[in-house]
Structure 1
Amino acid sequence: MTFEDLGLSDSLLKTLKDKGYTTPTPIQAQIIPLILRGSDVLACAPTGTGKTASFALPLVEILSETASKARLIRCLVLVPTRELATQVSEAFKDYTKNHKLRVAEFIGGASIMKQKQILNKGIDVAIATPGRFLDLYETGCILPTEIKNVVIDEADRMMDMGFLPDVRKILAAMPKMRQTVLLSATMAPAIKKLAQEFLMSPKEVMVAAPASTAVNITQYFVNVPPVKSESERLRTQVALMIGIFEKWSISSAVIFCNKKHHVDKVYQQLKKQNFSVEVIHGDLTQSRRNRALENMKAGTAKFLVASDVAARGIDIISLPCVINMDIPMNIEDYVHRIGRTGRAGAEGLAFTMVTKATSGAAQDIMKMIGKQIDFVSVKDLPVSYTPSVEKGVQAASYDRSQRKSQDGPQDRNQQGQKKKKNRHRSATTFSPQRTENNLPFPPKRNRKNKGQRRRAAAAALRDSGMTTSPLF
């Protein structure tokens, strides 16, 4: 099947041909005709299967038949994150090059005054996050009367981030006579309930089993040796990750962490080792986040450390690898994280760090996706260790990360014992007369009696026949 068989116009076909697209993906082949016929759609497909084009192409076709009106929106696309909004917006702008359609994104972190000015001109396609859309709607800046097409993208992520109440409020404000498309990588009961509430006799599209991963992504779990602290665990994982880069000759990757301060620490450690790396998480300004993504897409940066806020908004062509420093809090997010690689049929690699505490979650992931994942042990990677494995990996085998010491392990151990013994000895050499409450340190002086002590010292000198006056 080709795009010509799907009923798209010649102008759209020309746009697709210019971009090098000739054959639709399975989800595109099923959804595009349904949207063109005006049906509501409930679709479930793994990330990276071409979902954005599956709804963007037919909507461009429908919207190009009529003109936009001032202060009105004709099509609304709701997305969970700012990064995904930017990605969807860029896709629409690519597909509308031969059409006079206005596309704009409405997201938090951007100037709301500028967004209000854009709305006054009229918008054909509005890509928005739920919070910002409600801000504009509740202040009277958006009139939903002309919105005839609504898309809820990444509905499961909306649920995970607690946006479903906002989505319900938005859908309740939409005209009843509309077309609604709901897309999700997984199909939880809450998603089905949302579809039953707001979709009219939807056509269900199931490209792959829910929560499945693309077959062209090779997945590995990496066993992390036990360590004594969180900071030591992060250093260990960074060293393991560098070993992975070396063994598999990985030149670019997206690295995910569960916590924002872990994102910063991993970024700093890679930066110290001269990696071309960017960072992105929810505490950064929108301009900084956009710059990080632009640098990755342009190839200026080769590695990106990110939190889940960016997991579904990163669309980097030919990204070879994804590293999970932690198993996601919600194991269903595993599908979305590793879906950043292996896009458009390309081969991809995904590595997930597993500790003793998260070994159960690793088993749950394998049950969820219905396949076994091979484990990589420390011995499989080119990394060096401190004398005790529990102390973690000292450094990767990269020259820039190795720090050689002239003292052997035994010498360092003896020096440590000697210092410890000296500290103990110095802490107990005070005389009993100088201790207070048997504490091994002299009592603190009372500054209020400072003058009294001076006068007593001067009197003692006079009694001894000595003088406090200058010698000359």
Structure 2
Amino acid sequence: MSESARTHTRQRDDASGATTPAVPGTASFDRLGLPDGILRVLREQGVTVPFPIQAAALPHALAGRDVLGRGRTGSGKTLAFGLGMLARTAGRRAQPKEPLTLVLVPTRELAQQVGEALTPYAEALRLRLATVVGGVSVGRQAAVLRDGAEVVVATPGRLHDLVERRSCRLGRVRIVVLDEADQMCDMGFLPQVTEILDQVRPDGQRMLFSATLDHDVDQLVRDYLRDPAVHSVDPSSGAVSAVDHHVLVVHGPDRYAVTTEIAARDGRVVLFLDTKHGVDQLTRHLRAAGVAAAALHSGKSQPQRTRTLAQFKEGQVTALVATNVAARGLHVDDLDLVVNVDPATDPKDYLHRAGRTARAGRSGTVVTLVLSGQRRETSQVLADAGVTPKVAKVRSGEAELTRITGAKAPSGNPLDGGPVAPRPKNHNAPFRGLGSTKAAQGGSAGRPSRRTTEARKLAEAQRAARVRRGG
């Protein structure tokens, strides 16, 4: 194992602050004592050597220890907690509405990803796994729980609703996992999370995993984890060490064209914007320009979001335009480019956006588009994230833009009907929500000047005079 990927493992004694040697990690799944069914699925999927976070955390998870883990996004945290959780639940049977194991995650996408990743292993052990999230029928989810599920992967809001409806009881839950706990706190889920933790078995096992572990989760750690084994693989500032970071300084009127050419590249790309409106507007423009783009944000229904992600993973959609809802819980193999069309304003947001590429040890590129006036703020955000980017000034159509991002001219053939979209040029209207002119935003562009207005009034008066004279 390289020095940069070395696993630093320790046990934390919350009472004394002392650290003591922890159980060493393992270099092979076969040596962990996992059930044969899990080992068979691992072999079928070509997984033989555990990632550092898995090698470090799995022995403690299997031993029933509480675990506090941090690993960079894409480092394999799901199997780090999932295999131990499933192995310890094997052979048990849940009663109706009473799961035995619970995984809490902040977003629907992450819940579905975790559920999909663990399902083959659960099936091999004849464990029933249910995923419960918002945006889909709560009645159907209640019916699944009524039939019995040993493992439940849930978002806090929907699980709270099911408990309130008396469709789920948590008193028999003996293993709880909090994945991406810092984001759950950031999103305001802390009261619901603590309410859930207060209802599960007090003598059970708790595992908390996240790409970042900071002050947001201190309360959870203090109140609910008992002498946890603490595992950290790479410091948070090195969470994106396999990524090339670029800040591209663009001229305001050219930002429209630069974004379009990047989206038209060969291969997939995720483009992040701050607002749902901006996402929808850019998606419409890209499709009119011939780019197979799709929008992903919280305003979409869950079936729409699921379908869009499936199309993106299968390559039917090549440009995924998204808000931060896609910054966590989105795993796509071989995704090598992420573009911040709107620069991230928080270091954690930047790291999680960047974490959509360079997953599982692969490499990737993250590009942030900035106007000259945004450079200072963006530089500070990246510095706080532990990132030193390469900075370049670019224009649409330039070889340097193509070299960094693979940008190329779009076909211009609209995908949803309508006229052929003109290719964006450097003299486009300034970038205002991608495609909106200043006039559309309530500015002065497109309005008649004072001189034009006065001339128009004079002409109207002269015409009225002629009418009165009969001429």
Tell me which moved more, 64-73 or 146-155. Answer: 64-73
CA distance in 2 between counterparts of 1:128 and 1:334 reads 25
Q: 46, 55, 58: which one pairs with 1:20? A: 46
Q: Deviations over 1:441-469 (max 9, x none)?
A: xxxxxxxxxxxxxxxx9xxxxxxxxxxxx
Q: CA 1:376–1:241 in 2, change beyond 3 Å: closer, same or farther?
A: farther
Q: Deviations over 1:124-171 (max 9, x none)?
A: 110111111111112222111110000111111112211112111111
Tell me which moved more, 84-93 or 426-435. Answer: 426-435
CA distance in 1 between counterparts of 2:145 and 2:409 reads 55
Q: 456, 461, 471: which one pairs with 1:426? A: 456
Paired positions, count: 406
CA distance in 2 between counterparts of 1:100 and 1:179 reads 21
Q: Is the 8 A contact 2:347 2:382 kept in 1?
A: no
Q: 115, 123, 128: which one pairs with 2:154? A: 128
Which letter maps to 2:208? L
Work out whether 1:289 is the aligned partner of 2:305.
Answer: yes
In structure 1, the residue matched to 2:122 is 96
Q: CA 1:67–1:326 in 2, change beyond 3 Å: closer, same or farther?
A: same
Q: How does 1:156-171 map to 2 (within 5 A)?
A: 156-171=182-197
TM-score (norm. length: structure 2): 0.80
CA distance in 1 between counterparts of 2:425 and 2:376 reads 37
Q: CA 1:403–1:82 in 2, change beyond 3 Å: closer, same or farther?
A: closer
Shift of 1:422: 5.4
CA distance in 1 between counterparts of 2:277 and 2:399 reads 25
Which letter maps to 1:159? C
Q: 361, 369, 376: which one pairs with 1:345? A: 361
Q: 64, 70, 78: which one pairs with 2:90? A: 64
Q: Is the 8 A contact 2:160 2:196 kept in 1?
A: yes
Shift of 1:189: 0.9
Shift of 1:5: 2.5
In structure 2, the residue matched to 1:301 is 317
CA distance in 2 between counterparts of 1:35 and 1:380 reads 51
CA distance in 1 between counterparts of 2:35 and 2:463 reads 98
In structure 1, the residue matched to 2:335 is 319
Shift of 1:66: 2.1
CA distance in 2 between counterparts of 1:432 and 1:43 reads 81
Which letter maps to 1:294? A
* Structure 2 counterpart SS, 1:44: strand
TM-score (norm. length: structure 1): 0.80
Work out whether 1:334 is the aligned partner of 2:350.
Answer: yes
Q: Is the 8 A contact 2:263 2:319 kept in 1?
A: no
In structure 1, the residue matched to 2:423 is 402
* Structure 2 counterpart SS, 1:173: coil
CA distance in 1 between counterparts of 2:377 and 2:161 reads 38
CA RMSD of superposed structures (Å): 2.9
* Structure 2 counterpart SS, 1:96: helix
Q: Deviations over 1:150-202 (max 9, x none)?
A: 01111111122111121111112222111111111112212122211111111
* Structure 1 counterpart SS, 2:231: strand
* Structure 2 counterpart SS, 1:48: coil
CA distance in 2 between counterparts of 1:211 and 1:196 reads 24
* Structure 2 counterpart SS, 1:156: helix
In structure 1, the residue matched to 2:200 is 174
Which letter maps to 2:30? E
Highest Rg: 1 or 2? Answer: 1
In structure 1, the residue matched to 2:258 is 240
Q: 246, 251, 254: which one pairs with 1:220? A: 246
Percent pairwise identity: 33
Q: Deviations over 1:311-348 (max 9, x none)?
A: 21211111121111112343311111111111111221
In structure 1, the residue matched to 2:29 is 3
Q: Is the 8 A contact 1:40 1:202 kept in 2?
A: yes
Q: CA 1:268–1:41 in 2, change beyond 3 Å: closer, same or farther?
A: same
Q: 236, 239, 262: which one pairs with 1:210? A: 236
In structure 1, the residue matched to 2:381 is 365
Q: CA 1:109–1:430 in 2, change beyond 3 Å: closer, same or farther?
A: closer
CA distance in 1 between counterparts of 2:399 and 2:273 reads 21
Q: Is the 8 A contact 1:383 1:396 kept in 2?
A: no
Q: CA 1:287–1:154 in 2, change beyond 3 Å: closer, same or farther?
A: same
Q: CA 1:274–1:245 in 2, change beyond 3 Å: closer, same or farther?
A: closer
CA distance in 2 between counterparts of 1:121 and 1:360 reads 56
Shift of 1:245: 5.6
CA distance in 1 between counterparts of 2:178 and 2:226 reads 14
Q: Deviations over 1:360-393 (max 9, x none)?
A: 3322233223231011312485299xxxxxxxxx
CA distance in 2 between counterparts of 1:204 and 1:357 reads 42
In structure 2, the residue matched to 1:374 is 390
Q: Is the 8 A contact 2:337 2:364 kept in 1?
A: yes
Q: 99, 104, 116: which one pairs with 1:78? A: 104
CA distance in 2 between counterparts of 1:117 and 1:379 reads 56
CA distance in 2 between counterparts of 1:273 and 1:40 reads 52
Q: CA 1:64–1:399 in 2, change beyond 3 Å: closer, same or farther?
A: closer
* Structure 2 counterpart SS, 1:255: strand
* Runs of 5+ consecutive residues of structure 1 not aligned to the other structure: 228-235, 385-394, 406-415, 436-456, 458-472
Q: CA 1:402–1:73 in 2, change beyond 3 Å: closer, same or farther?
A: same
CA distance in 2 between counterparts of 1:238 and 1:279 reads 17
In structure 1, the residue matched to 2:416 is none
Q: Is the 8 A contact 1:79 1:127 kept in 2?
A: yes
Q: CA 1:111–1:399 in 2, change beyond 3 Å: closer, same or farther?
A: closer
